[in-house]
Amino acid sequence: MAVHPFHLAFPVHDLAAARAFYGGLLGCPEGRSSAEWVDFDLYGHQVVAHLAPHEARAASTNAVDGDQVPVRHFGVVLPMDEWQGLAERLQAAGVRFVIEPHVRFKGEVGEQATMFFLDPSGNALEFKAFRDIASLFAK
């Protein structure tokens, strides 16, 4: 399966806070920008923070394997060792998790490590890793 970079634009209330979070904490290189938006390279994908304070808000949630998962969220599926490293880095930085790093669907098809946290504008991010990446789309 060839993986092509995706593009995602999302609202933020403050571009400086977005730069500190995506560029500083997550280590995403910055691309083009203007006074109203900033491109970031999120593991090879183009995510764009657009200044739109009136649209930045908390997300609704749905139950998934005992957790209340933010409905609006985005993130990346990482190799397990990279996921663990990111979880440790975020914990050391004092990030408040919406859902703490843990393994869900234990012993089932699709077993995965997951964590959810919010950016400064309330956008939810999920980073996950599969014990067996072949089960990414398994039923």
Instruction: Provide, for the chain, the percentages of residues in helix, strand and coil under a 3-state DSSP scheme, each rounded to the nearest 5.
Output: 20, 40, 35
Q: Assign 136 a pLDDT band (cuts: 50, 70, 90).
A: confident
Residue keyed to tokens 């669907």: 105
The residues pairing with 113 across neighbouring beta strands, listed in sequence order, are 103, 129
pLDDT tens digits along 74-128: 999 999 999 999 999 999 999 999 999 999 999 888 899 999 999 999 999 999 9
Neighbours of 75 (CB within 10 A): 17
pLDDT tens digits along 17-70: 999 999 999 999 999 999 999 999 999 999 999 999 988 777 788 999 888 988
- Hey, what domains does the chain have and what are their CATH numbers? 7-55 (3.10.180.10), 61-135 (3.10.180.10)
